[in-house]
């Protein structure tokens, strides 16, 4: 047991040391106004390079990704029904679905699923 702890500590110290060394070596201290400005064929940009981004679109995209991952978690449940007890499988499936429905209700209640206000 002590051997596992000592190996874990050595690996942790080694990884932290490597991260610190790479962080120190890779720092670029030269700040140039031309390098930090947006490049548009060698000319000054005509308009702002930072376009406004719709936060509503971002929220819809994040919610889509969350529910997409939840679907990926639901699909294997149909395969595991034959290898597990039906009562245990039913309980776990219903609890998972209730949590998902609770999250969907919360998003709906907060108005995050409405595209336009």
Give kind and range of the element (H or E) at residue 76: helix 55-79
Tokens linked to 30: 């030269």
Query: What whole-number distance in Å separates Cα of residue 58 and Cα of residue 72?
Result: 21
Q: Which residue has the higher pLDDT, 88 or 117?
A: 88
Note the pLDDT of residue 1: 84
Q: What is the mean pLDDT of residues 14-30?
A: 84
Question: Mean pLDDT lowest for which of 8-22, 37-51, 101-115?
Answer: 37-51
* CA 29/CA 99 separation, integer angstroms: 49
pLDDT digits (tens, 9 = 90+) for 23-49: 888 766 666 666 666 665 666 666 666
Tokens of 70: 């939840």
pTM score: 0.49
CA–chain centroid gap for 96, Å, is 20
pLDDT tens digits, 49-106? 667 777 778 888 888 888 888 888 888 888 888 888 999 999 999 999 899 889 889 9
pLDDT band per the 50, 70, 90 thresholds, residue 112:
confident
């Amino acid at each position: 047991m002590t051997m596992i702890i000592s190996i874990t500590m050595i690996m942790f110290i080694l990884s932290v040391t490597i991260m610190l060394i790479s962080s120190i070596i890779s720092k670029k201290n030269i700040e140039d106004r031309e390098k930090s400005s947006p490049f548009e064929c060698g000319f000054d940009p005509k308009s702002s390079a930072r376009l406004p981004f719709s936060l509503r679109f971002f929220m819809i995209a994040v919610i889509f990704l969350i529910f997409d991952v939840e679907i990926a978690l639901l699909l294997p449940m149909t395969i595991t029904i034959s290898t597990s007890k039906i009562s245990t499988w039913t309980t776990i499936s219903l609890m998972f679905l209730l949590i998902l429905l609770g999250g969907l209700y919360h998003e709906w209640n907060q108005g995050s699923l409405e595209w336009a206000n």
